[in-house]
Amino acid sequence: MASRTLFGIPVSAGIAIGRAYYLNKSHFSGTVRQTVSDADVPFEIERLNRAFDDALHDLERILTLVPEDLKEHSAIIESHLMMLRDQKFRKRALDHIALTKINAEWSLERAVGDVQEIFASIADEYLRQRMQDVRLVAERVLGKLVGGESGHQAIKHRAILLAHDLSPADTIELDVNKIMAFATAQGGKTSHAGILARSLQIPAVVGMEGLGDDLAEGGIIILDGFHGRIIIDPDEDELARYTDLQAQFEGYQATIMRSCHLPAETIDGYRVQVLANIELFEEVVAVNDNGGEGIGLFRSEYSYLNRDGMPTEDELTEIYMDMASLVAPKKLVIRTLDVGADKLMRMQSSAESNPALGLRAIRYCLKHREVFRTQLRAILKASVLGNVSIMFPMISGLQELVEVKKFYREVQEEMHAEGICFREDMPMGIMIEVPSAVITADFLAREVDFFSIGTNDLIQYSLGIDRTNKDVSYLYQPLHPAIVRSIKWVVDSAHRAGIEVCLCGELAADPFCIPVLMGMQVDSISLGPQSIPGIKRIVRQASMEECNALLKQVMASHSVARNNKLVREMIFRRFPEELMFYSSLVDD
């Protein structure tokens, strides 16, 4: 039998070779619409209420079972509990029963669909992926309605787990020691499945097309976490090749982990600070384990998601104080709210025609100042610990920044009047992620203490493409001359003003781009914790002399193809081992 290959999105690197185990827990695929009589409506409402309560009790029990080495899952499970306690989501489903006279199962599916329409209008990929949380919670409720067994205890031997989707609660109920790797049909790069895989340090692929329960369970498969694929029924040559690659990667991982706590300093003495991007409190453990030197981007949106109402000042203060204490003495950069929270909190059905360019980030905060004030006060309270910085996203120009700073000072004055302590000179920075901010970077640099270049959005806005759209994703070119020149201009503007500049986004984790960024003399980079060891190793093996020479060639080039060729030649010559383990290089 010839082998066949399925493709998805790689979210955790590595190779796994083993038997497949399919976890079929998607109950929605079998849900049918049934009309019920007026007399049966109370019964259906009671069924749905009982299912919500049972699912809630299940998750509360599972939360108590989280072992110490998987504590990073707790926050995600707690967010799912918050959704189950949210009466608005439950009421949506109950209203469908009462108003349209349909069965409980179908009403739950309708409620999920309502929420999905709202999430679809959100521009930010990370926040769009939180829709998966809603569906995972609904799956658990639906499981209680249909009375199906999870089958979680059925894995008797180590296997590669295949599933429609996978939540933290699923991993707690499973024996994780028997999971070699996993693939899911749902999810994206920023979905929880990816976070789970990286915390478990196992290979994983998500968003896999064609992954169904028709696959022969127990058959041998290869999961390639570098390139995002599964090979079903591999032949002898494929098995031999991947077995060899697996051994090489394990050796490479051992090597880079042994040196991950060394500074990222070139052979000729240039040092770049390597920080981490996180969204969950529990990810700090991974930052420390992988040699991170602080938190360059703490996405504060998670505290606002999947809850009934806005978080209070006390709640936010506790989160930020706990985070700063855990990170100390390393720095913690808190980015203020980067989403239109009214869509996420209150599930309003109004959708913007172009959400990526709409009321989001600092624009939303300036329009909803009470929400902004609450967060600013919480961050200022946490600043007394001495290692906290504040960062404002989506700043488009000087006038907007002046308005933000004016409101920020008003909040400080209020706290002074109330006798509340905070750090007067807490570092304040902005995200440079829209072309207008790039062009006026020299003006903006005089107003803040640091820049952070958000390359994901900057590339999309500068090149006019949506990198999540498969039809135009090929145009997402980090080494496009316009992008290289934009970043160089921002770095130079910052340094002329005497402030530091950090670069975050996917570029910071791409070995393909690191030598160019080093040639620009960025002060720090901020990336996912799991990428830190490999990037630090590249920096330590490089020299500024060769990085400067490469940058000079790239800056003189007007061609994306030539830039890619220049960088590829250097990487092949200087870092051949790293090339084997990064799909962005191997596939280009």
Catalogue the active-site residues: 192, 504
**Strand partners of residue 4:** 232
- Cβ–Cβ < 8 Å for 361, 394: yes
504: left (phi over 0), alpha (psi -120 to 50) or beta: beta
DSSP 244-290: HHHHHHHHHHHHHHHTTTS--B-TTS-B-EEEEEESSGGGHHHHHHT
Write a three-state SS string for 325-392: HHHCCCEEEEECCCCCHHHHHCCCCCCCCCHHHCCCHHHHHHHCHHHHHHHHHHHHHHHHHCCEEEEE
Q: What token pair was written down for 291?
A: 């040699």
One-letter amino acid of 526: S
Instruction: Flag whether 563 is marked binding.
Output: no
Instruction: Flag whether 564 is marked binding.
Output: no
- Cβ–Cβ < 8 Å for 222, 242: yes
Q: What token pair was written down for 179?
A: 């999971």
CA distance 323 to 205: 30
Q: Is 11 helix (H, G, I), strand (E, B) or coil?
A: strand
Of 25, 296, 61, nearest in space to 141 by CA = 25
Q: Dmax over Cα atoms in the chain, in whole Å?
A: 81
Instruction: Flag whether 235 is marked binding.
Output: no
One-letter amino acid of 467: R
Q: What token pair was written down for 223?
A: 């999961």
Q: What token pair was written down for 478?
A: 């980090």
CA distance 327 to 320: 10
Strand-by-strand arrangement of the 4-7 sheet: 4-7, 229-232, 220-224, 15-23, 159-163, 179-184, 204-206, 9-12
Question: Strand 204-206 vs strand 9-12: parallel, antiparallel, or unpaired?
Answer: antiparallel
Q: Which residues contact 260 (CB under 8 A, 6 or more apart)?
A: 290, 291, 532, 533, 536, 537
Instruction: Flag whether 4 is marked binding.
Output: no
Q: What token pair was written down for 234?
A: 């591999």
| Other Cβ atoms closer than 10 A to 576 | 9
**Strand partners of residue 331:** 294
Instruction: Flag whether 456 is marked binding.
Output: yes
In 106-171, beta strands by DSSP E: 159-163
CA distance 104 to 110: 10
| Other Cβ atoms closer than 10 A to 90 | 20
578: left (phi over 0), alpha (psi -120 to 50) or beta: alpha
Of 331, 426, 428, nearest in space to 387 by CA = 331
Instruction: Flag whether 457 is marked binding.
Output: yes
Of 506, 501, 556, 559, nearest in space to 535 by CA = 506
Binding residue positions for phosphoenolpyruvate: 299, 335, 456-457, 467
Binding residue positions for Mg(2+): 433, 457
Binding residue positions: 299, 335, 433, 456-457, 467
